[in-house]
Every structure is written in structure tokens, then in C-alpha cells.
Structure 1
Amino acid sequence: MTNGRLKARGARPGGQTIRRAVAVLRTLAIGGERGVPMAEIVQATSLTRPTVHRIVHVLIEEGIVERSDRTGNYAIGRQVPELALARPSRSPLLIAAEPHLAAASAQLGDTLFLTVRTGLDTLCVARRIGNYPIQVLSIEVGVRRPLGVSSAGVAILAAMPSAEARKIVLANETRFGAYRTDVATVLGQIQLARRRGYNLRDVGLVQGTKSLSAWIRAPDGQPTAAITLSAIRNRLNPRRAIEVADALVATARAIEAATPA
């Protein structure tokens, strides 16, 4: 079985190897500084172990991947941030969102996150810490997760047509196990978020927390991002959850209006 991301593309000479390498790199990006063991790379990409081993070691030779002598895990190499310096400009979405994130965080008092879709993943691109004494810092900027795992990912999928969302969820099926979820659970969460007009997660990624997300559409109408508030459970009781949802949805619409076409 090949990775869902690979199957979605048309065949092109030499393209399969490159796509497999990109799938490996995206998996390593999720591992961050901790890195990812070989077995998890194989599981996440649905490639054979010899194939993954060959790709990883070529990337190590090129300085794109590194292996930890202490843990044996593989991680994105230090040369990658150096390459990224060639494109240092921030996205129009991030520029448009910053004042609205600041205003919403000041109004609500809890930590807000801006998460964007990138392929089959979500990527946290901004975090605004609130002024309430207890803050939930559930995710760092730069952390990548499969679409459908986080509150933001479910919200983004809920804004898509059902068939498109289901296709992405099925493509990520092999990756869900590491996050203790499955296809049926994610599809159920998407349906509920679609009915509500936002996503409310009663059990956050951090024990004892809740999160609430509203999707953001690009100027072309495609769901491209989400704004998320994470808080300790007693901060999101049913009454306040409705108030927060209204504020987040309004903030999402303001970000959409401010994002240039």
C-alpha cells in the first residue's frame, strides 16, 4: 500500500522517488526536535522499511536529515532552516491575522493559536498568550500534525465538502494510531463541527483542557486555516463556550476580510 499523498498525484518520471522523500520529510517534521524512530516513519508513510531506510540515508548524506546518536531517532537536519532563509517573507494570512489574534486574546484572556493547512497536515504558525493566570500552551509554533488530529484540523476539514474531507481522513488513516484516534472518530467530529459552525473538543491534547476552533477561508473560498482557543476545562463551561465560539467565528471572518486576494 502506498501513502495517500502519493496516490493523489499523477505519475511523472522520477516523481515517485521525490514524493516518497517529501512524505518522509513531512513525517520527520511532525517529530520536531525529538525526532522520529524508523518504525514510525515506515508506519506513517506506508512505505517499506528498505525504501524508507534508503531515502533517509540519502537525505542524511545531503544534510537534510540527522540521526540522534543518543536516541537513534531521525529529525529534520539543520541545513533545512538555512535553506528556508531564501524565503524569509511572512504569509499574507499571518500578517492579516496578527492584530485580530491580539485583540481576541486580550478580549478572551486565553491562549490563541493560528494553524494553517499544508497538504495532509496542519502547521501552527502563530501563538498569542492571554492574560489569564493559567494558560494552556498545548502546541508550539512550527509543530505539524496530520489533518484530523487537532481541534484546528477538524475545523478545517469541517469547512470542506464531505467527499474531500473524507478523502483526506482516509489518506491519514495510518497516521492516526500515534494520536489515539481513528477514521470513524475523526469523521464523527467533523460532522458535529459542521453542524455547529465551529469545532469544540471536550478533551484537549493536554489532559484537563478543552479547545475550540473556527475555520478560516482563503480569498478563493478554500478552507486554509483555523483559529483555536485552548483553556482549562472550567474556563469553557457550556455558557462560556458559546461566547468564545461567537468571538472566534467573528475573528475568523475578520481575518478573512483582511487577507488580500
Structure 2
Amino acid sequence: MAIEQGSEPPRSVERLLTIIEALSNASANGLRLTDVVEATGLGKTTAHRLLNGLADQGLVDCDSETGRYFVGIKILSWASAARNRFSIARLAEPVLIRLARRTQDTVYLIGRVGDESVCLDSREGSFPIKALTLNVGDRRPLGIGAGSLAMLAAMPDDEIERILVQQAEARSSYSFSEAKLREMIEATRRSGYGYNDVHIFEHMKDLTGMAAVAVAIRRSDGTPVAALHVTSVTARLAPPRRENIVAALTQERAQLEEEMQPALDATQVSQRTLA
């Protein structure tokens, strides 16, 4: 999309990215024009003009019947290219396949991008009830979700405190308090794995009855850079099966860390990228 001379490219790019991020956060539900205006703070005319421009480039789709806007199919190819950059995602693919077969549940690879977690990949198991709580590319504040929680709990105390302060507003749309999150961090440290049930899902009506467990993947210096995460219906993650799932995750994590240590140690966690 060409930018006319005399315009302000940084501001234009910022506005476009704000719209794309809002649509990405809306996922399969999409957004109406009024929703985009509310989510981005843009004026209605500006938002409509930018949405049309993005649609012309294949970056946004508009449902003619509902008037809702969605992330465009073209972004999928960009996402695929970005995913291929992550050696963790490439090298962990066999691990996800094995875990999905072994557990019969949905398995996710969760990465860290600054103070957020991002879903890098997933595999569905054969159990007929699918626990599809994340899409590849979904981002959440660290601590929200089992994999995200496992990574947060593996960090030093001062880093946790910084993240809790900086991500307070981002966490406000979720249904538990900072005090509850601190309890969950301590429980994760004691057990060695992250666990979430209704504390994360109760505000999402279509995800109630789901639970998840996860273990953090670390560099040799102990820095968490990713997590292996299994989601299922709550009954399937009750003891003693939960311990069996955690054992499978721990076994695969150990093998993955051993085989991928050079790649993991080369992974740099920054505020914007996981490289």
C-alpha cells in the first residue's frame, strides 16, 4: 500500500497495525466498524478508509452479510513465514505430534514475546471433544494460560514483579486478581507445572469446562523461552491422569531441551521478537 508524499508514515503504519491487531484479537468473531472505532480510538471515517485500504490489499476481509471485518487470508502466508523463522517451532513439531498421539488431547507450543505469550503451533489429538482454546498467533499477557503461567513462574522474582506491574492493565479483561495469579505462580513453582481451569476460562462462555497443564522450556541459563501445553476437558485433566500428562510433557521437554539446546540458547527474548 503506497504512502503519499507529505503524509506521516510512522503514524499511518501505527494506525494500520492498530486495526490489524484489534481484528486479530477478535479472532473468528470479527469486528463491526463501530467495534474497530472503539478498539482503536480512530475516527469512524478514518477507520472505514483504512479498513477499505487493507481490504484492497487482501489484509482484511469484510463479510458482506454481517458487515463484520476479519483478518485477511494474506496474513496467513505472512504468519507462516514468521513461524518458519522460529527454530523452536520447526524443531518442536515432532514433539507436538507425539504428545497429541500419546495424550489424545490438543497440544500447543507456546512461545514468549517480551511480556506476552504467543501460540506458535498446535496439534489435535484423537479424543472426540476438541479443546481448541488457542489459535496459532494468539497472544496473551504472561501468566494467562497454563503455558504462559509455566513460563512466568520460571522467571526470577524481580522479573515477575516487573511483569505483574507492566501487564496489570492487559490482564484486567481476565477474571482473576493479581493475588490469585500470585497464588498460581507459587503453586506452579511447587508442582513444577502450570495448571489452569475455570480461573482462565470462566469469562469465555465457549471455553468453560476446559483445563490445561504445561511445562516451561528453558535455555541452559534457566531463562524460559517456550512451553509445552496440553488442553482438554476438565475431567480428563483430573488426578491421576493429570500426573500422567505432566510426566509425558516433562519427558518430551527433557528430550527437546537436550536436542535443541544450541537453538534454545540462541533464542533471544525481547519486547517485540522471539528470535
Distance 1:175 1:124 in 2: 17
- Residue 103 of structure 2 is aligned to residue 102 of structure 1: no
Q: Does 1:138 align with 2:133?
A: yes
State which of 14, 31, 39 in structure 1 corresponds to 2:26.
31
TM-score, L = length of structure 1: 0.73
- Residue in 1 aligned with 2:256? 255
* Shift, 1:27, TM fit: 5.3
Q: How many residues align?
A: 246
Q: Distance in 2 between matches of 1:83 and 1:103?
A: 27
Cα distance in structure 1, aligned partners of 2:80 and 2:122: 21
Q: CA deviation at 1:129?
A: 1.3
1:198 to 176, 193, 201: 193
State the one-letter code of the partner of 1:246: A
Q: CA deviation at 1:15?
A: 9.1
Cα offset for 1:166? 2.3
| Cα gap change, 1:99 to 1:83, in 2 (>3 Å) | closer
Match of 1:115 in 2: 110
Contact 2:217/2:253 (8 A) holds in 1: yes
Amino acid across the alignment from 1:241:
R
- Stretches of structure 2 that go unaligned for 5 or more consecutive residues are 1-8, 202-206, 264-275
The separation in 2 between residues aligned to 1:212 and 1:245, in whole angstroms, is: 7
Instruction: Give the deviation of 1:131 after TM superposition.
Output: 2.1
Inter-partner Cα distance in structure 2 for 1:134 and 1:79: 30
Q: 1:194 and 1:182 mapped to 2: Cα distance?
A: 19
Matched, 1:231 2:232: yes
Amino acid at match of 1:216: I
Deviation at 1:229, TM superposition (A): 1.1
Contact 2:33-2:47 within 8 A present in 1 as well? no
Identity among equivalent pairs (%)? 29
1:169 lines up with 2:164 in the alignment? yes
Go from structure 1 to structure 2 and tell me whether the alpha carbon gap of 1:173 and 1:27 turns closer, same or farther (over 3 Å shift).
farther
RMSD over aligned CA atoms reads 3.6
Question: Does residue 183 of structure 1 match 2:184?
Answer: no
- TM-score w.r.t. the length of structure 2 is 0.70
Gaps of at least 5 residues in structure 1 are 1-13
Q: Is 1:222 the equivalent of 2:223?
A: yes
Partner of 2:84: 89
